[in-house]
Copies of this chain bind each other. A is one copy, B any other.
Amino acid sequence: MKEEIIRAIERVYATSPLVHSITNYVVMNVTANALLAAHASPLMAHAPEELDDLTDIDSALVLNIGTLDAPWLESMELAGKLMRAKGKPVVLDPVGAGASRLRTEASLRLLDMVRPQIVRGNASEIMALAAEIRRAEHLPSPADSPSTKGVDSLNDSREAVDSARLLAERFACVVSISGERDFITDGERTLMVEGGSSLMPLVTGMGCSASAVTGAYAACAAPLIAAAAAMAVFASAGARAAEKASGPGSFLPHFLDALYTVDAHDAADRVRESSI
């Protein structure tokens, strides 16, 4: 597996995939910078009139509902369907799922209509989506319940692994849960990534940027390896940046510097099979 991660990183570096994001206003700038630092190319566009043209040249599409509204959701659904029809990968970041019915329902609708290959969220978001499915289908609820604070998770990533498996099976996708440890599962196999820094949740858009970079890797590897490789380069760069940062403000420039020169072996060493 270590070799697969390294190969994915090498392929991103060699091909510099074009990652089209329809994402939230808060993180557009940091997301674009993270993609550039990760040796990919960013593109942000939401006008329905140009989605057919752009999905022709896109390597991957990332849908992020962080500041969703009705017209942007329509663009996300249209772009997602175009990408799937053209056989290209889509990543969904269900930002704030569980915080409002609109976000929970929009995420499930995009999962259903677009069928993204990878869903990347925090523990609360993944648990909220699984809880809604269990509720709708009268399945028993687990002991742990999701707890969000707006768009931030109050749950540990480990708590969300069962929910991630449910989503992975139901929508035939890979689910990537970020947290102090990241868990990535296709429903059967589960990988764990360790690293990063406690400063990362204090910088807005780190999770959204991880989703964007997951898009870059989805263009270069199979979904499970792609999702794990993206989290691994973030974990590696985050650990390195934390050594130099004096706080959340100086963390971001150090993180982007570290992401640009990430050590593929260090990143790959952070990924393990998990038996949770």
Query: How distant is A51 from chain B, measured CB to nearest CB, in Å?
Result: 9
A155 to B25 alpha-carbon distance, docked (Å): 30
Contact in complex: B260, A150 (CB < 8 Å): no
Indicate the member of A24, A46, A249 with the most B CB atoms within 10 Å. A249
Cβ contacts under 8 Å, A257 to chain B: 246-250
A252 at the interface (CB under 8 A from B): yes
**A96-B150 contact in complex given A29-B26, A260-B249, C-beta closer than 8 Å:** no
What residues of chain B lie closer than 8 Å to A42, measured between beta carbons?
26, 150-151, 204
The A90-104 residues at the B interface (CB cut-off 8 A) are 96, 99-103
Q: Which residues of the partner chain B approach A143 to less than 8 Å between Cβ atoms?
A: none
Do residues B50 and A103 form an inter-chain contact, with CB atoms below 8 A? yes
Selected from B18, B44, B152, B205, the residue in CB contact (under 8 A) with A66 is B44
Q: How many copies does the complex hold?
A: 3
Q: How far is the CA of A26 from the CA of B30 in the complex (A)?
A: 9
Tell me which of A33, A45, A70, A201 has the highest count of chain B C-beta atoms within 10 A of its own C-beta. Answer: A45
B residues within 8 A CB of A78?
Answer: none
A141 at the interface (CB under 8 A from B): no
CB distance from A72 to the nearest CB of B (A): 9
Contact indicator per residue, chain A 15-27, by CB within 8 Å of chain B (1) or not (0):
0101010001111
Contacting pair A248 B256 (CB below 8 A): yes
Give A256 to B252 CA distance when docked, in angstroms: 11
Interface presence of A47 (CB below 8 A)? yes
Tell me which of B36, B54, B249 contacts A99 (CB under 8 A).
B54
Residues of B within 8 A of A66 (CB): 44
Instruction: Give every chain B residue within 8 A of A255 (Cβ-Cβ).
Output: 249
Cβ contacts A to B, 5 pairs, < 8 Å: A25-B44, A36-B201, A45-B96, A47-B68, A58-B150
Q: Which 4 A-B pairs have the closest CB atoms?
A: A249-B256, A247-B257, A43-B150, A50-B100
